[in-house]
């Protein structure tokens, strides 16, 4: 007998509800963030499955769920607001320092990462901070590997699947390579992982001390990715590399009006130009 329906990572209902309803086609964030498909694309059709149940309670769990997402989830699940009971808390991670870094090079080149890494002759892998670099697309993960190896003076190591400094993880990475990368990272045998959103959902990587996000994306997804930093409660670092402007975007504070609906692209523009503390901005965005 079915007693309860539980959905982990419930915000994915919102993302895949947009896909199922074809509303995602106009949003830049879906082109910028590959591999969201890795986690349950059927989430966008859960509402039709609920029609076959009889007053069975459903429990949705998510670390981030913006008000707009709550409204769209309610619609996707064919529920009325009176059917919802919210238990929420403040989206604060005081142990993580958020730093926005404006990019001087193009996103496709990823050359801004050159300033993060010293040559291997000065910093050995064992002394490097365990980190994840999220680059949005699969092709860009390889470009990031090339740039990091250039900075580390270990050119061509991006072709070594067993490199002891840097590995990649995305949707089409082989299952054995994925498992070995996560295991080696957890055992302190490799300090850096280059990834798309395929890494992290449903996983608990406690060793991460720094998360780097390349380029503009979805604010809620950025919170999810940076939130994988310092699950042990110690001090961590979230570096957000952002382009200074976006074509046809809102590229200064004056471009935003009062009480005007903002889609995910506009929210990302706001995060890029806001003079506010990023932690406060992200917390307000999720209220």
**Residue 219, in any domain of the structure:** yes
> CA-CA-CA-CA torsion for 137, 9, 230, 218, nearest 10 degrees?
40
**Residue 91, in any domain of the structure:** no
Judge if 206 and 236 occupy the same domain: yes
Judge if 74 and 100 occupy the same domain: no
Distance CA 259, CA 239 (A): 29
Where among 23, 54, 83 does a domain terminate? 83
Judge if 216 and 161 occupy the same domain: yes
Q: Residue 213's domain spans which residues?
A: 96-285
Judge if 57 and 162 occupy the same domain: no
If you write DSSP's letter for every residue of 147-210 in order, what string do you get? HHHHHTT-TTGGG-TT-SSEEEE-TTS-HHHHHHHHHHHHTTS--EEEE-TTTTTT---TT--E
pTM of the model: 0.84
Tell me the residue ranges of DSSP E strands in the chain.
Answer: 5-7, 58-60, 96-102, 131-134, 166-169, 192-195, 210-214, 236-242
Where among 49, 83, 117 does a domain terminate? 83
pLDDT tens, position by position, 63-118: 777 777 788 888 888 888 788 888 887 767 788 999 999 999 999 999 999 999 99
Judge if 159 and 268 occupy the same domain: yes
pLDDT tens, position by position, 214-230: 998 877 778 888 888 88
């Amino acid at each position: 007998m079915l007693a309860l329906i539980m959905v982990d990572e419930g915000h994915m209902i919102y993302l895949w509800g947009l896909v199922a309803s074809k509303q995602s086609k106009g949003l830049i964030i879906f082109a910028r963030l590959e591999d969201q498909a890795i986690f349950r694309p059927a989430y966008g059709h859960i509402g039709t499955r609920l029609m076959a149940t009889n007053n069975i309670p459903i429990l949705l769990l998510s670390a981030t769920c913006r008000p707009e997402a709550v409204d769209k989830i309610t619609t996707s699940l064919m529920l009325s607001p009176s059917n919802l009971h919210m238990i929420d808390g403040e989206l604060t991670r005081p142990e993580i320092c958020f730093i926005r870094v404006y990019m001087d090079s193009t996103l496709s080149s990823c050359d801004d990462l050159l300033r993060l890494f010293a040559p291997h002759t000065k910093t050995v892998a064992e002394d490097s901070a365990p980190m994840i670099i999220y680059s949005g697309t699969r092709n860009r993960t390889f470009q990031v590997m090339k740039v990091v190896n250039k900075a580390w003076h270990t050119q061509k190591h991006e072709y070594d699947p067993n490199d002891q400094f840097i590995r990649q993880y995305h949707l089409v990475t082989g299952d054995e390579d994925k498992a070995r990368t996560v295991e080696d990272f957890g055992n302190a045998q490799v300090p850096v992982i280059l990834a798309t959103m395929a890494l992290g959902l449903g996983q608990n990587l406690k060793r991460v001390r720094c998360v780097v996000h390349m380029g503009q994306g979805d604010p809620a997804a950025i919170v999810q990715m940076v939130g994988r930093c310092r699950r042990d409660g110690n001090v961590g670092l979230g570096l957000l590399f952002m382009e200074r402007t976006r074509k046809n975007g809102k590229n200064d504070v004056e471009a935003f009006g009062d009480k005007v609906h903002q889609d995910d692209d506009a929210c990302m523009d706001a995060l890029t130009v806001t003079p506010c503390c990023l932690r406060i901005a992200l917390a307000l965005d999720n209220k």
